[in-house]
Amino acid sequence: MKTKTYSANCHCGSVRFKFTSEEITTGRRCNCSICIRKGIVMSARYFQPEEVEVEGKENLAVYQFGDKDVKHHFCRTCGIAPFNTVASVPPTYEGPAKPGDYRVNLGCVHDLDVLALDIDVIDGRAF
């Protein structure tokens, strides 16, 4: 499988990151209360911490709510949420996510037309 290194940043550029992935052709939207309000398209897959290189971590703040299973990272300057990380998973969870894994905001990725992607909606309200 052919991979590509993607570069991304928040709106003001204070937070920059790179990750390597197969070509991105799909994205995910979630119907939970925070994702509906943010309106962002996230990566369809999770990325392990060693697959994501972040610069400007000192410019990030974190928001958690509910069960606190997800850390919602956002830029302290421009407010853009470049990625989420998994804080914990419930004991009964059988999916692919592990603590520390990333889901990236595809709207932050350079040269990626988010509106041209196939978008799946996940039922985050049910989690």
Closest CA to 42 of 26, 55, 54: 26
Domains belonging to the chain, first-starting first, are 3-120 (2.170.150.70)
Quickly tell me which residue has 């990750």 as its tokens: 19
CA torsion sign for 30, 127, 75, 102 is negative
Let me know: does 86 contact 99? Beta carbons within 8 Å. yes
| pLDDT at site 121 | 93
- Quote the tokens at residue 49: 């911490």
Reported as a pLDDT band with limits 50, 70 and 90, residue 125 is: confident
Query: In degrees rounded to 5, what are phi and psi of residue 29?
Result: -120, 150
Reported as a pLDDT band with limits 50, 70 and 90, residue 100 is: very high
| pLDDT at site 59 | 98
37-50 per-position pLDDT tens digit: 999 999 999 999 99
- Quote the tokens at residue 122: 């996940």
Contacts of 77 (CB under 8 A, 6+ apart): 10, 12, 14, 59
Whether the predicted pLDDT of 126 surpasses 80: no
1-39 per-position pLDDT tens digit: 799 999 999 999 999 999 999 999 999 999 988 989 999
Count of CB atoms situated within 10 Å of the CB of 6: 20
Whether the predicted pLDDT of 111 surpasses 80: yes
Closest CA to 72 of 44, 38, 119, 120: 38
